[in-house]
Structure 1
Amino acid sequence: MKEQISIFDIFKIGIGPSSSHTLGPWRAAQQFIASLEEKDLLAEIEGLKILLYGSLAKTGSGHGTDIAIFLGLSGADPVTFDVELVMPTFYAIKTNKQLTLENHLTIPFDYDVDLLYLFNEILPFHPNGLTFQALLKNGKAHSETYFSVGGGFVVKEGEVIDDSKTVDLPFPIENAKDLLHWCLSTGLKVSEIVLENELAWRKEEKTKEGILQHFAVMRNCTYRGCHTGGFLPGGLEVGRRAAKLNQKLIGDSEYHDYDSWIGAIKKGGNGFNYILDWVSCFALAVNEENASFGRVVTAPTNGAAGVIPAVLQYFMAFCDGYSDDKIIQFIACASEIGSIFKKGSTISAAMGGCQAEIGVSSAMAAAALTECLGGSQRQVLMAAEIAMEHHLGLTCDPIGGLVQVPCIERNTMGAIKAITASQLALQSNPDKAKVSLDVVVKTMWQTAQDMNVKYKETSDGGLAINIPLSLPEC
């Protein structure tokens, strides 16, 4: 059975800084609580142990894995929980040595004893493994293991896919070849194929409403990031740059909200340096928010959350793409490219390095921009291929286990590469291309398998071991 992935599987609203290390464990904790309730075991718990394996152990602290798990167990939801309460809630649990499960059962929990970081143990299924061990009043224990497999997706150990939850998609797609077949046989654009498939899950108006809700989070995140200064949390003392860059670029222009801000940006002209600076500013803004436990949209991950909003903002501000229909088209098209990479390779940095995050997001953005600028279906796929081809082998080596250096700047590079890839595709004949999207997806997966584990979100290699933690970001 082909994996069925919706727009809202690829794009998820959550809290930073990592989809695999924050959002995924948060969802796993929620699933564990739901499982306990289903088994009538929640009221029987008197203690809890949490075991983190592999990449979750090595970079979990810097990525907020512990925070996410506690909030998930407490009954908070990442879509709605007040981001201003994230750290106070976490510190209260650590200080009081108590954890309230699902907002009503309080149990003792000692952070230093009951949360175990198993740095040298990796479970076979995936590097991002975590186990919950509930100690029951009858002296027995109930354990469940989950894997955060990238982009906020969670798999429970031993869980079998429920065929009853599958839907009848009019255009089943496993790879780019399938997608192109449906596009050419129907004459539909990539985004139109996606929206037709989404009808198997919900009505069209609900899908469009959901896409615009996700865009609203991207928009608010970008705007807030462009107007918030200071330093990022975590100890690296990385200064936030988006706000200063925004102020420099916007100059004396007056604005009072997002729309008037976009208007002011447009009035600044279309110079190459000006546009380049704004694309970088947009990407910096989103990922500075992400690093600060702000609310973002996985695109397809949190670490790469700035690429698609930055390219979308570029399209809106400099290509006259600011309309609901164009935004829906952009996000729908991007989602299918992300889906193809997830099915054929990975969107988990712990499995494939940063090519699986920034590379995939750049490919998604390149494809979406190309379609929205009038490119053919073949040019759309070509743009995605070009963007990923030039991210192959990109490692994940976060300094201090934080999603800051080099992660934030990599979003600016991924956005610029996406725009370049789109322009190349629009000026090229895809029939002459030597590399297809499916070939580059296959190559990415081969590269991921060959990549040394120390370059897969462990902070055991690359910049993470060569930059003293006291040094500022360059």
Structure 2
Amino acid sequence: MECISVFDMLKIGIGPSSSHTLGPWRAAERFIKEVKDLQLFDQVSHVKVDLFGSLSLTGKGHATDYAVMLGLSGADPEYIPVDAIDSSIQTIKENKQLNFGHDKIIDFDPEVDIVFNRNFLPYHANGLKFTATLDDRIYESTFYSVGGGFVTKENEDSLVSEMSCEFPYLFNTSDELLAFCKQENKSISGIMYENEKSIRTPEEIDYELMRVWNTMLECMYIGCHTEGTLPGGLNVKRRAYDMHLNLKGDLLYETPWEWLQTIRKTKVYFRQILKWVSCFALAVNEVNASLGRVVTAPTNGSSGVIPAVLMYYLVIENHKAGEKEIKQFLITAGVIGSIFKKGATISAAMGGCQAEIGVSSAMAAAALCELMGGTPAQVTMAAEIAMEHHLGLTCDPIGGLVQIPCIERNTMGAIKAINAAELALDTDPLNAKVPLDKVVNTMWETAKDMNNKYKETSEGGLAVAVNIADC
């Protein structure tokens, strides 16, 4: 059984895409480590990168070329100053060189050395191959970005957590997870917390969970306070700024946490609640679309759902909630995401948008349900309801950009998650007809049946119905 940590499902990185940006970035880092481990690093004089399949078809719109260059330069997506990205890329383009591994200057012309190949490699839709020129030979290494920032190498048997671990409670399915909850008389988050303690100290877990949340909060804050037009050529106007301006009124604040406190003082009529949740989701994904720093939840393209639903709980449902509830929410969400990762996919290039927005909505629904007093069985039911009503959702980004329809889909996923949690809380799990494991299997079968043009290739759906020229 695979050990997938909560922090594997909730990664901090740069937008706009976990599979097309963060994944290739991490693959470039792994390539550098590989040549160093093989004691080939000092011999490298040149590197070429071939992008295949979906990485090629929508790579420009998802900044895959930027990610590869930054990864090969040794930059860390968790900590690189966002404002430094454009200048770093411009320097590489102008000089036709990069600082390989942040250790040696090598020749690198992005126009020549990053090749977009439309053909697909056999293992996964998101393939990339690094070719290094050494003193006396060529060295090649192929990787796959399999969704959510996860990366695997060609011929690896399976994808496992980057941390070696032996969880005390190993599960691949929700049935196995629920059995542990019953056996130990623990919540879903309680079981997963014990797993996390096998690889981190409680202090490390708490610190990292709050780092994830603070990144989410900052992302919402930035998105709600930034106006203008998103990059990429579609001329999409940011909407979170104006929506937030109308919702907040005259309330004053200076920090993201003070901002959260002031929102608690606003009206909570149904219409305002819908607008606030939508505003939070829009804000995150507008930041994501601008190469901002977000949390994959479980992907960058679906990164707005979980923050929006958690923020809803904090500012609407429970004004007394704080760090304890935030950590519980994130742990529960991560557990549910891992079940989809193990049993199906979180890659839109493999499963369409059901694998991103659908999974994120299920994660958020489950987490909200647990915070609102749901039993473990009701929590998995909430996840099932949310995913059930995203089955078959296609991925058809216009211009290969995570803007239309991706940003609005996060608002829909968040609203569905809240509704799913409420439905589960009012339902006896014994009366449920569709268990979570069945919907996970169904999602995977639907993914396999789905035409490739609806799997993040921009070759079907809205991506061909609407042209960039029309925008």
- TM bucket (normalised to shorter chain) is over 0.9
Deviation at 1:160, TM superposition (A): 5.2
Q: Which amino acid aligns with 1:157?
A: E
Indicate the residue corresponding to 2:284 in structure 1: 286
Structure 1 portions without partners, runs of 5+? none
Deviation at 1:255, TM superposition (A): 1.9
- Pick one of 230, 254, 267 that aligns with 1:232: 230
User: Partners in 2 of 1:164 and 1:449 — Cα distance?
Assistant: 27
Indicate the residue corresponding to 1:114 in structure 2: 113
2:58 is paired with a residue whose SS is: helix
- Pick one of 183, 186, 200 that aligns with 1:185: 183
Moved more, 197-206 or 293-302: 197-206
Matches within 5 A, 1:63-142: 63-119=62-118, 121-138=119-136, 140-142=137-139
Indicate the residue corresponding to 2:50 in structure 1: 51
Map Cα deviations across residues 359-401 of structure 1 (whole Å, 9 max, x no partner): 0000000000000001111110110000000000000000000
Indicate the residue corresponding to 1:256 in structure 2: 254
From the superposition, tell whether residues 424 and 246 of structure 1 become closer, same or farther in structure 2 (CA, over 3 Å): same
Indicate the residue corresponding to 1:404 in structure 2: 403
Q: Does 1:5 align with 2:32?
A: no
Q: Contact 2:5–2:161 (CA<8 Å) still a contact in 1?
A: no
Q: Which amino acid aligns with 1:422?
A: A
Deviation at 1:154, TM superposition (A): 0.3
- Pick one of 199, 210, 213 that aligns with 1:212: 210
- Pick one of 300, 304, 310 that aligns with 2:298: 300
User: Partners in 2 of 1:34 and 1:181 — Cα distance?
Assistant: 40
Q: Which amino acid aligns with 1:232?
A: L
User: Partners in 2 of 1:30 and 1:462 — Cα distance?
Assistant: 34
1:470 is paired with a residue whose SS is: helix
| TM-score (structure 2 length as normaliser) | 0.97
Q: Which amino acid aligns with 1:230?
A: G
Q: Contact 2:299–2:356 (CA<8 Å) still a contact in 1?
A: yes
Map Cα deviations across residues 174-206 of structure 1 (whole Å, 9 max, x no partner): 100001111112110000011011111011221
- Pick one of 314, 329, 333 that aligns with 2:312: 314
Give the number of aligned pairs: 469
Q: Which amino acid aligns with 2:153?
A: K
User: Partners in 1 of 2:156 and 2:14 — Cα distance?
Assistant: 26
Q: Which amino acid aligns with 1:317?
A: V
Deviation at 1:269, TM superposition (A): 2.1
Indicate the residue corresponding to 2:15 in structure 1: 16
Q: Which amino acid aligns with 1:246?
A: H
Q: Which amino acid aligns with 1:146?
A: F
2:214 is paired with a residue whose SS is: helix
Moved more, 274-283 or 150-159: 150-159
Deviation at 1:235, TM superposition (A): 0.8
Deviation at 1:263, TM superposition (A): 2.5
Indicate the residue corresponding to 1:155 in structure 2: 152
User: Partners in 2 of 1:122 and 1:180 — Cα distance?
Assistant: 39
From the superposition, tell whether residues 101 and 164 of structure 1 become closer, same or farther in structure 2 (CA, over 3 Å): closer
Deviation at 1:209, TM superposition (A): 1.3
Q: Does 1:25 align with 2:18?
A: no
- Pick one of 143, 146, 151 that aligns with 2:143: 146
Indicate the residue corresponding to 2:376 in structure 1: 377
Indicate the residue corresponding to 1:356 in structure 2: 355
User: Partners in 2 of 1:80 and 1:195 — Cα distance?
Assistant: 26
Indicate the residue corresponding to 2:434 in structure 1: 435
Q: Does 1:199 align with 2:200?
A: no
Indicate the residue corresponding to 1:242 in structure 2: 240
Deviation at 1:282, TM superposition (A): 0.1
Deviation at 1:471, TM superposition (A): 3.4
Percent identical pairs in the alignment equals 55
Deviating beyond 6 angstroms after TM superposition, the runs of 4 or more aligned structure 1 residues are: 161-165
Deviation at 1:164, TM superposition (A): 12
User: Partners in 2 of 1:107 and 1:205 — Cα distance?
Assistant: 41
Q: Which amino acid aligns with 1:319?
A: E
User: Partners in 1 of 2:284 and 2:381 — Cα distance?
Assistant: 27
User: Partners in 1 of 2:372 and 2:97 — Cα distance?
Assistant: 54
From the superposition, tell whether residues 89 and 164 of structure 1 become closer, same or farther in structure 2 (CA, over 3 Å): closer
User: Partners in 2 of 1:248 and 1:354 — Cα distance?
Assistant: 31
User: Partners in 2 of 1:168 and 1:291 — Cα distance?
Assistant: 37
Q: Contact 2:3–2:161 (CA<8 Å) still a contact in 1?
A: no
Moved more, 251-260 or 452-461: 251-260
Moved more, 205-214 or 257-266: 257-266
Structure 2 portions without partners, runs of 5+? none
Map Cα deviations across residues 263-303 of structure 1 (whole Å, 9 max, x no partner): 22222122000010000000000000000010000000000
User: Partners in 1 of 2:452 and 2:270 — Cα distance?
Assistant: 39
2:45 is paired with a residue whose SS is: strand
Deviation at 1:259, TM superposition (A): 2.6
Map Cα deviations across residues 143-193 of structure 1 (whole Å, 9 max, x no partner): 000000000000011335699964332211110000111111211000001
User: Partners in 2 of 1:258 and 1:73 — Cα distance?
Assistant: 34
Q: Contact 2:4–2:161 (CA<8 Å) still a contact in 1?
A: no
User: Partners in 1 of 2:385 and 2:157 — Cα distance?
Assistant: 36
User: Partners in 2 of 1:433 and 1:470 — Cα distance?
Assistant: 48
Deviation at 1:137, TM superposition (A): 2.2
Deviation at 1:53, TM superposition (A): 0.4
Q: Which amino acid aligns with 1:182?
A: F
From the superposition, tell whether residues 369 and 302 of structure 1 become closer, same or farther in structure 2 (CA, over 3 Å): same
From the superposition, tell whether residues 281 and 199 of structure 1 become closer, same or farther in structure 2 (CA, over 3 Å): same
2:271 is paired with a residue whose SS is: helix
Q: Which amino acid aligns with 2:274?
A: L
2:144 is paired with a residue whose SS is: strand
